[in-house]
């Protein structure tokens, strides 16, 4: 199990960094229109500096008609009107630099908006110079060209009367897929990437990047299994590695930056092909194996809502091994596409604070680069969505229309949305106890969690034992102990459904993480070959007597401890 390769890993800044994701629409509103914006972000940079993060990943801020909150870009060089101007952007970047914060932008190039000029041209005629920037196909006897389905309900093909052909859109019909087979398109994208890099940004998070190379025969999708379709049909197409290597050669390799690919559809065996240091493609990917644990693979918007800790641990262990010393992992338990991590993997009722800390410890003590999603650092939880009017996400709204048409059981439908909607992650950041949680002076674009009087940044700052102060300690601990970054990983009690225990070691340094990820007390026994003499307690989320023996322990719910062993 133990991979003795810590010393072979090449050390570099992006492996030692902590990344904070901002969803700009919901972070901070500076002008009272209810929508977060760039000036709002600038006003909160001190919070990020105080936390100790190094890199900010901004979800898209480019010009967009907002069919999918900015993941539908109409001008890659412009800023979304609601968010501000390019001058605001430059100011933000300068303010970040002052605080030693690097900026990572979202790169959404599997698709554009249908309002992008390229698409406007493309749809005009079959011989338009931009026709081939997208996928246009004739229908088959009045049907769409293949049975592919969109992530956001319905067919992935949209008929366009002007030229009597269909175009492909894996997401909404306002997000047509770009055709990477076209050399000119690729060069346009590289040019655009250089524009932002030359401004001084430090990297890209690449949206659904495994989808950019398509199987041009559009083979039949498995209609009863979305997960399989994603892995085998939509992702990892024939030219994917060629495209990424070209992008790396022409753009990425010329700058001292970092990259993370959104790895939807990449299996544990394929990950290394994208991130191996020999391959010169990406630095890291987000894999989604743990994000599927509570879902129904046939329908990614439904599921069971619970998960097995043994399966969770196995995923992290397998990825650690698969990436070895040549790859690098990214560690995340939530982002803007999923419910809140405390509600999903912890206990958002009686152990909200304890479980927020226990889960955060997983993020900061495994090998990889940790990501904090906005609000997780104060232990934000799922929002009590009730009626369809409460939701904003196009994924829910489209699925709702479809469910109505299909005369589905609407209460059952809503119940599943209430648990799994992406909107849980998108309710506004809770800054203080003032009206609207300090997010806006106006009316927020989406509901604000009613618990904001209790759960907010201001209160967290004042409370010594808050989730936020624990995050600060974790970030600091990781900075002080490179063993947590690069160290080898040895897991104990793999089959336990309560305890996640592992040793991180590098040279002579040994750090033991004992984590009860459950709502019940758990009996723990120190693994036989480990010595407790000379142990040093580095961090815990309950009061612990330093002298206490750890040969056997009864761990309290979500109790976590980090020890240095001799
Ligand atoms: O997400 C891609 C993706 O795989 C998601 O559709 C995911 O499966 C889903 O959200 C889970 O419910 C990226 C972005 O992160 C997402 O916000 C965008 O909507 C999507 O791409 C299209 O750009
Ligand atoms: Ca605003």
Domain ranges across the chain: 6-112+183-380+455-470, 117-168, 488-565
Q: What does the chain come to in residues?
A: 566
Contact of 188 with 73, CB cutoff 8 Å:
no
Task: State which residues of the chain have pLDDT below 70.
Answer: 1-4
* Per-residue pLDDT tens digits for 363-410: 999 999 999 999 999 999 999 999 999 999 999 999 999 999 999 999
Ligand 1 neighbour 83 (Cβ under 6 A): no
> Which pLDDT does position 56 carry in this prediction?
98
- Tokens found for residue 557: 């719910």
Give the ligand with the smallest distance to the CA of 83. 2
Q: Per the residue annotation, which of 37, 207, 294, 559 is the catalytic one? A: 207
Q: Residue 377 Cα, ligand 2 centroid: separation in angstroms?
A: 23
CATH for 488-565 is 2.60.40.1180
Neighbours of 466 (CB within 10 A): 21
What is the distance in A from the centroid of ligand 2 to the CA of 22?
15
pLDDT of residue 166: 98
> Closest Cα partner for 365 from 329, 341, 327, 392?
329
Q: Which residues pair with 510 in a beta bridge?
A: 505, 565
Catalytic annotation on 8?
no
Pairing mode of beta strands 295-296, 165-168? unpaired
Compute the distance from residue 84 Cα to the ligand 2 centre, in Å.
8
Q: Could you name the CATH architecture of 6-112+183-380+455-470?
A: Alpha-Beta Barrel (3.20)
117-168 CATH fold:
Oligo-1,6-glucosidase; domain 2 (3.90.400)
Choice among 72, 114, 165, 262 that is catalytic = 262
Q: Whose CA is nearest to atom 6 of ligand 1?
A: 151
How much is the pLDDT for 229? 96
* CA distance linking residue 503 with residue 486, whole number of Å: 12
> What's the pLDDT score for residue 5?
86
Q: For strands 75-79 and 258-262, give the pairing.
A: unpaired
Give me ligand 2 centre to Cα 88, in Å: 12
- Would the CB of 171 count as within 6 Å of ligand 1? yes
C-alpha dist (Å) from residue 313 to 293, 425, 498? 11, 24, 11
Whether ligand 1 lies within 6 angstroms of the CB of 71 is answered as yes
Helical pair 352-365 and 467-480, crossing angle rounded to 10 deg: 20
Pairwise CA distance, residues 372 & 135, whole Å: 36
Q: Is 313 a pocket residue for ligand 1 (Cβ < 6 Å)?
A: no
Place of tokens 């199990």: 1
Which position has the token pair 């329908």? 299
pLDDT at position 1 is 43
DSSP 196-261: HHHTT--EEEETTGGGSS--TT-PPP-TT-HHHHIIIIISS-TTHHHHHHHHHHHTGGGSS-EEEE
Q: How many beta carbons lie within 10 A of that of residue 285, not counting itself?
A: 28
Q: What are phi and psi of 96, to 5 degrees?
A: -65, -45
**Confidence at residue 2, expressed as pLDDT on a 0 to 100 scale:** 44
Reduce the DSSP state of residue 333 to 3 states and report it.
Answer: coil
Instruction: Tell me, yes or no, if 415 is annotated catalytic.
Output: no
Is 177 a pocket residue for ligand 1 (Cβ < 6 Å)?
no
CA–CA distance, 138 with 159 (Å, rounded to integer): 9
């Amino acid at each position: 199990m133990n991979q003795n390769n810590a010393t072979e890993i090449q050390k570099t800044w992006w492996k030692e960094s902590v990344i904070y994701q901002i969803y700009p629409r919901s972070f901070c509103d500076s002008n009272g229109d209810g929508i977060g914006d760039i000036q709002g972000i600038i006003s909160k940079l001190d919070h990020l500096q105080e936390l100790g993060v190094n890199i900010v990943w901004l979800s898209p801020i480019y010009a967009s008609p907002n069919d999918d909150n900015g993941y539908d870009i109409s001008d890659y060089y412009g800023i979304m009107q609601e968010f501000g101007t390019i001058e605001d952007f430059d100011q933000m970047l300068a303010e970040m630099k002052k605080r030693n914060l690097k900026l990572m932008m979202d790169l959404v190039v599997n698709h554009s908006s249908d309002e992008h000029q390229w698409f406007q041209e493309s749809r005009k005629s079959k011989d338009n110079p931009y026709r081939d920037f997208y996928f246009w196909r004739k229908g088959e006897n009045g049907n769409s060209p293949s049975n592919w389905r969109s992530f956001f309900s319905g067919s992935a093909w949209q008929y366009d009367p002007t030229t009597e052909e269909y175009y492909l859109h894996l997401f909404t019909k306002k997000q047509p897929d770009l055709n990477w087979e076209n050399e000119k398109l690729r060069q346009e994208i590289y040019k655009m990437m250089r524009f932002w890099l030359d401004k001084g940004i430090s990297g890209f998070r690449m949206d659904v990047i495994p989808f950019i190379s398509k199987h041009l025969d559009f083979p039949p999708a498995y209609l009863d299994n979305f997960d399989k379709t994603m892995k085998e049909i939509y992702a990892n197409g024939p030219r994917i590695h060629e495209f990424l290597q070209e992008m790396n050669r022409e753009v990425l390799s010329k700058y001292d930056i970092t990259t993370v690919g959104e790895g939807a559809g990449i299996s544990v065996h394929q990950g290394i092909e994208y991130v191996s240091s020999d391959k010169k493609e990406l630095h890291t990917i987000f894999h989604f194996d743990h994000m599927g644990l509570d879902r129904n693979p046939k329908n990614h918007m439904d599921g069971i809502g619970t998960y097995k800790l043994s399966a969770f641990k196995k995923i992290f262990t397998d990825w650690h091994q698969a990436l070895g010393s040549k790859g690098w992992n990214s560690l995340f338990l939530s982002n803007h596409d999923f419910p809140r991590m405390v509600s999903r993997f912890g206990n958002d009722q009686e152990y909200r604070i304890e479980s927020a800390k226990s889960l955060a410890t997983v993020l900061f003590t495994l090998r990889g680069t940790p990501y904090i999603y906005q609000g997780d650092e104060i232990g934000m939880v799922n929002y009590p969505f009730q009626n369809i009017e409460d939701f904003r996400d196009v994924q829910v709204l489209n699925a709702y229309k479809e469910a109505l048409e299909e005369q589905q059981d609407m209460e059952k439908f809503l119940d599943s949305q209430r648990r799994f909607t992406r909107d849980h992650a998108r309710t506004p950041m809770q800054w203080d106890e003032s009206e609207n949680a300090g997010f806006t002076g106006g009316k927020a674009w989406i509901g604000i969690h009613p618990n904001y009087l209790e759960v907010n940044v201001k209160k967290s700052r004042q409370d010594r034992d808050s989730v936020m102060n624990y995050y600060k300690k974790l970030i600091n601990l990781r900075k002080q102990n490179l063993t947590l970054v690069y160290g080898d990983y040895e897991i104990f009690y793999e089959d336990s459904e309560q305890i996640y225990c592992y040793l991180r070691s590098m040279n002579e340094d040994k750090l033991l993480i004992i984590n009860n990820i459950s709502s019940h007390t758990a009996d723990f026994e120190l693994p036989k070959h480990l010595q407790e003499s000379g142990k040093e307690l580095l961090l815990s989320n309950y009061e612990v007597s330093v002298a206490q023996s750890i040969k056997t322990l009864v761990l309290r719910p979500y109790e976590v401890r980090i020890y240095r062993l001799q």
